[in-house]
Chain A
Amino acid sequence: MRPRAALSPANHKLAPLLAVTALLLSAPGVVRAQAKATIDLGASLVRYDGFLLSSAAAITPTFEWYGRRAALNARGTFLRFESGNRSVQGSVVGWLFARPSKDWRIETSATAGGSSYADFASFWHLLGEFRVRRDTERGGLWVAATGGRTVFGSSQEARPVFAASVTAVQRRSALVLMFSAGRAFVGDTQYSDIGMTARGQYHRFVLEMLVAARVWSLGAGEGVYGEASGSLPLNKRWSVVMSGGRYPSDPMRGNIAGRYISAALRFRIQRPTRSIAPLPLRQSGANGGDPPPSTLLTLTPQSPGYVKLVLQAPPASLVEVAGDFTEWRPISLGQTSEGRWEVVVPITAGVHQINMRIDGGPWTVPGGTTRLAGDFGDEVGTFVVP
């Protein structure tokens, strides 16, 4: 969040954006299976180009949600500088993922964001991106095109944005390298960025570095820049994040160039999910026959030693499960609502096996468990109780 432009009247426009973020942060249960929410509390020393060095306190909430075909990332930053001036910035990015074809996949995203700083002008941007991506075991290649509008202040016309970039990814065990080159046009401003990002992990410490150069620029500055950030988890909820470096201006989002160093404590708002069932795996359709469509088993710990099994199943009059935890005797589940069947059973920690059947049919593997070949010409589902 750099203090760029941002007019004061824009503050009321930022409110809905932050409100949506706050709503998402406050409703983890809606998407908790694949969601993460954090808030960073930190301090920075920053010198924006053309400004004096200043310290600032920062609060940065983020929210991420991932679905099978879509994702969402919302982020906001509130800064209070030693001068007493305040800066607010927020952005929301949504993705849609097309069905992959072999190694190829098409992704589209839409980004909306804005910022305001004291009584200076504000920035707003609305961008869309189309990306074709190929992933392999050792790396990948992304080609992206971005278009949209960016607005500087309330009294100016929106400026058109167009950008294109190519990114190559190399993965080497615990290290990921990304090489990217792109050209952007923002109104009369145009520039190219060529750079490399490296991300690695040593035990729990994650380090990410960026080195890049801005070249062939008209109105966006030139030169080499770079940033580094590291994070170290302290426990399940808290981690330390440090970062610093120099970044260039970003005419698309209204950021001015600057140098900074910051340290923050990151608090994970989202409670770790209590569901212990994985997403359904791809079904092999081997000997045991395909599972009934739309079955999904989830397990929720109850009182110590007990687990609630919840099975989503097609309309039926009888749903049974059997496993090592039942001494391989069928037990019936109770229907709590349309298609939802439940039972609470004592299950010890460890790896367990399970089969299910509907209306006395063949024993099959419920979705949401790992299918393994059984010893009796069929398949069994396995799951773990931590």
Chain B
Amino acid sequence: MILTALLLVLAQNPAQDPRYDRLDPDTRARVITIVDSARGVGLPSEPLIHRALEGAMKSASSERIVVAVRRLAADLGTARLALGAKATTPELEAGVAALRAGASPAVLTRVREVRRPPVTMALAVLADLVASGVPADSAAAAIIVLAPSARDAELAEFRRAVERDIALGAPPAAATSVRSVGVSSVQVDATARGAQPGKP
């Protein structure tokens, strides 16, 4: 209860959050302003605080920390616009990762439209694919095909399969296209083509 009460106090008065003590006074004041502003429009504050703490741990300059936090706040806003007001913090963070990887806000919106929440894994896989070298439009096409029905575990498996094909030398877009239609056996197992499932 004490912890809950403390968290409630901190939520109402974020400037009292002891984590801010890791920032110098000038940085702290500017970050708190950005966080308060973000909170005021309904954006989550934790990712912003974490970004500031990351900068502090890496001994970044005050200006750089403030720019990073401000940029993340803007990206969170873009992600929320694309994903809708009901998007959760993990979904927004995954959305930001996808946006920064090169996906467009329209793609985020499309994923949200075709998949029941949460869309965290779908967006994270999208970001991973683009970071792996898959062109953003190819990655988006694959995820949009899979998103309506694939479970999170299946998306993760799909992502691993694509990464493995890329590691084996397949062009990233080709690997994504092939894996998204589940043709691994055709792709790899040319000599076992006769082994149709169920054939007596």
Which residues of A does B touch, CB under 8 Å?
A: 1-2, 34, 40, 42, 44, 46, 56, 58, 60, 66, 68-69, 71, 73, 75, 77, 79, 91, 93, 95, 97, 99-100, 103, 105, 109, 111, 127, 129, 131, 135-138, 140, 142, 144, 146, 167, 169, 171, 173-176, 178, 197, 199-201, 203-204, 206, 208, 210, 227, 229, 231, 236, 241-243, 245, 247, 250, 253, 255, 258, 260, 262-264, 266, 272, 276, 278-282, 322, 324, 327-330, 348-351, 353, 363, 370-378, 380, 382, 384, 386
Given contacts A34-B160, A68-B164, 15 further A-B contacts (CB under 8 A): A111-B192, A136-B171, A167-B190, A173-B181, A175-B181, A242-B198, A253-B194, A279-B160, A324-B50, A328-B57, A350-B89, A350-B120, A370-B127, A375-B68, A376-B64
- Expressed in whole angstroms, the Cα–Cα distance for A78 and B157 within the complex equals 30
Contact of B156 among A142, A266, A374, A386 (CB under 8 A): A386
Chain A's closest residue to B153 (CB) is: A272
Indicate if the CB atoms of B54 and A353 lie closer than 8 Å.
yes
Q: Would you call A201 and B182 a contact (CB within 8 A)? A: yes
| Contacts between the two chains (Cβ within 8 Å), count | 235
Binding site for A on B (CB under 8 A): 19, 47, 50-51, 53-58, 60, 64, 67-68, 71-72, 89-90, 93-94, 97, 100-101, 120-121, 124-125, 127-128, 131-133, 138, 141, 145, 148-153, 156-157, 159-160, 163-164, 166-171, 173-174, 177-178, 180-183, 186, 188-200
Complex: A79 Cα to B198 Cα, angstroms: 11
Q: From B56, B71, B171, give the contact of A328 (CB < 8 A).
A: B56
B150 surroundings in chain A (CB, below 8 A): 204
Question: Can you report 7 residue pairs joining A to B where beta carbons are below 8 Å apart?
Answer: A68-B167, A93-B189, A109-B191, A253-B194, A260-B199, A353-B50, A378-B58
Most chain B CB within 10 A, of A127, A131, A348, A376, is at A376
B163 to chain A, nearest CB (A): 5
Chain B residues within 8 Å of A175, by CB? 181
Assembled-state Cα–Cα distance A264/B197 (Å): 9
Q: Is the CB of A327 within 8 A of B181?
A: no
B73: min CB distance to chain A, Å: 12
Main secondary structure of the interface of A (DSSP, over half): strand
The reply to whether B145 and A174 contact each other, CB–CB distance below 8 Å, is: yes
A135-B174, A324-B54, A372-B131 given as contacts; is B156 within 8 A of A350 (CB)?
A: no
Are A327 and B200 CB-contacts (below 8 A) given A201-B181, A384-B121?
Answer: no
B188 touches A203 (CB 8 A): no
Tell whether A75 pairs with B195 under 8 Å between CB atoms, given A328-B54, A384-B120: yes
Q: Is the CB of B57 within 8 A of A66?
A: no
Assess whether B159 is in contact with A278, with CB atoms less than 8 Å apart.
yes
